[in-house]
Amino acid sequence: MSPETLLEPTLVDPTPNLNPNQPFDRDSFNSYVMNTYGRFPIAIAKGLGCLLWDTSGKQYLDFVAGIATCTLGHAHPALIEVVSQQIQKLHHVSNLYYIPEQGELAKWIVDHSCADKVFFCNSGAEANEAAIKLVRKYAHTVLDFLEQPVILTAHASFHGRTLATITATGQPKYQKDFEPLMPGFAYIPYNDIEAVENAIADLDEGNRRVAAIMLEPLQGEGGVRPGDIEYFQRLRQICDENNILLVFDEVQVGVGRTGKLWGYENLGVEPDIFTSAKGLAGGIPIGAMMCRKFCDVFEPGSHASTFGGNPFACASALTVLQTIERDHLLENVQQRGEQLRSRLRVIASQYPHLFVDVRGWGLINGMEINSESELVSSTIVNAALAEGLLIAPAGPKVLRFVPPLIVSETEVDEAMDKLEAAIAKVV
């Protein structure tokens, strides 16, 4: 089945149900909702496939996908069917009991990855928290470290918004005003193997020692920067030689986003632990931490999650994964990714003083703006918004393109036409 036919016949009316006599009240919204986001000035009312409509009825091509989350786009028939059926059957009971849907989802993930065991939670930050706790417990119980196991993470990384995960995040702007940060982390440059070796040597003394290296196969929030194959393959060797766990944060790059089911498949190595969230259930909140059997040291009481792995989220995630497999969406991601990067390079070549790089895997791609230019990514994002295209920044100098995995050839071309028009107006 081709991606273009996935929404035929549609189960929903593609036109938004909007009442022009009741416009969205932004002031009222801001009166009650905490000001934790710099929101763009539209309110989304409805979606279908790769299209969204705001409360005024304006249509947009969605190349944000809920920040790489709406794997199957909006109002996908398979997801509509499963959530409708599951909510009528059972949506939550807690992990005091066996949950069949959770077992089915875990089996699918294990059968289609290097993992042996799965822990379910609700978000990427929680999945990374679980990974951090697993590393520390492994270090204390198996490696018998003295007191302070250290996790190395990369500069420009992003691992979440909890206290532990912002400490793991190698970007001071996310840590500002939240001190004291969690102990047990040290930072290294991304894609720099000499820095890894030096950090291990420097920390391997006294009561501190490197227990794990936690990295994104491709840095998303850090500017859409893919990992170097040679770097990660040497990193795997170093971890094996030094009894160090290799942890991959696949919250943004997993579940088909890169054209492979898991991001690590692009690097020719397998991690000991990896995490997933965003695209796993196509927009239904879920997170997962996967590990190899040898480092599965959790036991009853070690870690828990009230909502984690409930029937509703797990049924949704299993449907997303089965749809990716059944409809051969990885092939579409690879083809549309090549098409997207090709068009982006053409656009960049028209403004050589403005753009310096186009990079990415599959359908996670970045377009870097010259650091010497006064133009920032948000300016182009707002211009694209006016043209009816939703894209997102990945830092002040990178545009990020992460459409649903079902995006069609026609939609990629249309998006690039809108981007060209937006850039022309800005320049």
The answer to whether 61 and 388 are in contact (CB under 8 A) is: yes
Q: How far apart are CA 132 and CA 193, in angstroms?
A: 22
Question: Which residues does the chain have with pLDDT short of 70?
Answer: 1-22, 145-146, 206
302 is in an annotated binding site: no
Residue where the block lists tokens 């807690």 = 94
316 is in an annotated binding site: no
Show the tokens assigned to 326: 């059944």
3-state secondary structure of 376: coil
Residue (of 78, 14, 138, 53) closest to 283 by Cα position = 78
158 is in an annotated binding site: yes
User: What is the model's pLDDT at position 12?
Assistant: 45
Rounded to the nearest 10 degrees, the angle between the axes of helix 409-426 and helix 329-350 is 20
3-state secondary structure of 20: coil
Instruction: Calculate the alpha carbon distances from 303 to 27, 133, 172, 291, 299 in Å.
Output: 41, 8, 28, 14, 8
pTM comes to 0.93
Q: How far apart are CA 292 and CA 270, in angstroms?
A: 10
The answer to whether 361 and 226 are in contact (CB under 8 A) is: yes
Burial group, residue 366, by CB count within 10 angstroms (0-12, 13-18, 19+)? buried
251 is in an annotated binding site: yes
Portion of the chain with pLDDT greater than 70, in percent: 94
125 is in an annotated binding site: yes
124 is in an annotated binding site: yes
Q: Are strands 392-393 and 398-401 parallel, antiparallel or unpaired?
A: antiparallel
User: What is the model's pLDDT at position 165?
Assistant: 97
User: What is the model's pLDDT at position 144?
Assistant: 77
Q: How far apart are CA 14 and CA 77, in angstroms?
A: 12
Show the tokens assigned to 263: 């991001």
First to last CA, the chain: 41
Instruction: Specify the amino acid at residue 222.
Output: G
Q: How far apart are CA 233 and CA 240, in angstroms?
A: 11
User: What is the model's pLDDT at position 5?
Assistant: 41
Residue where the block lists tokens 């003394």 = 205
Instruction: Specify the amino acid at residue 103.
Output: G
CATH 3.90.1150.10 at 328-401+412-426, yes or no: yes
Contacts of 202 (CB under 8 A, 6+ apart): none
Helices and strands of the chain, counted as H and E runs: 13, 17
User: What is the model's pLDDT at position 11?
Assistant: 39
305 is in an annotated binding site: yes
Residue where the block lists tokens 């290799």 = 246
User: What is the model's pLDDT at position 204?
Assistant: 77
Residue (of 126, 121, 129) closest to 307 by Cα position = 121
CATH 3.40.640.10 in the chain is located at 78-325
Instruction: Specify the amino acid at residue 160.
Output: G
Q: How far apart are CA 43 and CA 56, in angstroms?
A: 8
Residue (of 156, 145, 160, 98) closest to 289 by Cα position = 160
Instruction: Specify the amino acid at residue 174.
Output: Y
3-state secondary structure of 260: coil
List alpha helices for 209-367, DSSP H.
Answer: 229-241, 311-326, 329-350
pLDDT digits (tens, 9 = 90+) for 356-385: 999 999 999 999 999 999 999 999 999 999
Domain spanning 78-325, CATH class: alpha beta
39 is in an annotated binding site: no
CATH 3.90.1150.10 in the chain is located at 328-401+412-426
User: What is the model's pLDDT at position 216?
Assistant: 98
Contacts of 95 (CB under 8 A, 6+ apart): 304, 305, 306, 308, 309
Burial group, residue 398, by CB count within 10 angstroms (0-12, 13-18, 19+)? buried
User: What is the model's pLDDT at position 9?
Assistant: 33
Residue (of 423, 354, 363) closest to 387 by Cα position = 423
409 is in an annotated binding site: no
Show the tokens assigned to 346: 């053409």
Q: Which residues pair with 62 in a beta bridge?
A: 390
